[in-house]
Amino acid sequence: MFWSKNDFFKKQHFEGLTQRFQRLEAKYFVLKRLLEIKKFHKNEISLFLSAYDYFIEHPTAYDGATIVKDVYDIPKLEVSAMLHDYQYLVYLPSYSGKSWFKAKKTYDKQYCNNLIRFGKIKHERVAQIRYALLRISTPIYWLIK
């Protein structure tokens, strides 16, 4: 989260503010349709779309996947990473102590499960390794949060 960069939500050098919103609005409907095709539940779709809306309002907050850069679901947008960043930024700060660690564990597990659901990880073992790496980073993240 701290070492990655993604400009999907930021105004591109060739577009004005109106074009930025038009581009992001078009991608919003692409995202919604993708989630429907992947058979996400309506509540899950709502959460993903809330994350998308959040990053439209806070474009510099989204930085994408930290290590793996080839998991785009929509050009330049890693949907699983978008939700994961949103959960870290919006929900995680409301927790403390043991509940913080439990919430982070839940968000990390959801992230890995979403990578599987989007077809970005083909083998369960790879998802387990990714999850383990996220768990290992927990003390470091907790210290710098």
The model's pLDDT over 52-93, given as tens digits with 9 standing for 90+, comes to 999 999 999 998 776 555 567 888 899 999 999 999 999 999
pLDDT at 19: 92
Tell me what pLDDT residue 89 has.
Answer: 94
Alpha carbon of residue 43 to chain centroid: 16
Task: Identify the domain containing residue 32 by its residue range.
Answer: 17-144
Residue 3 tokens, joined:
């070492």
pTM: 0.86
Q: What's the domain count of the chain?
A: 1
Is 124 inside a domain boundary? yes
- Cα dihedral 135/10/78/65 (nearest 10): -30
pLDDT at 121 over 90: no
| pLDDT over threshold 70, residue 143 | no
5 occurs within a structural domain: no
Tell me the average pLDDT across 34-42. 96
Range 12-17 average pLDDT: 83
Nearest to 49 by CA among 27, 21, 64, 20: 27
Residue at 8 is within a domain:
no
User: 8: how many CB neighbours lie within 10 A of its CB?
Assistant: 21
Residue 139: what pLDDT?
Answer: 66
- Report the sign of the C-alpha dihedral through residues 7, 83, 116, 134, in that order: positive
Task: Kindly state whether residue 7 falls inside one of the protein's structural domains.
Answer: no
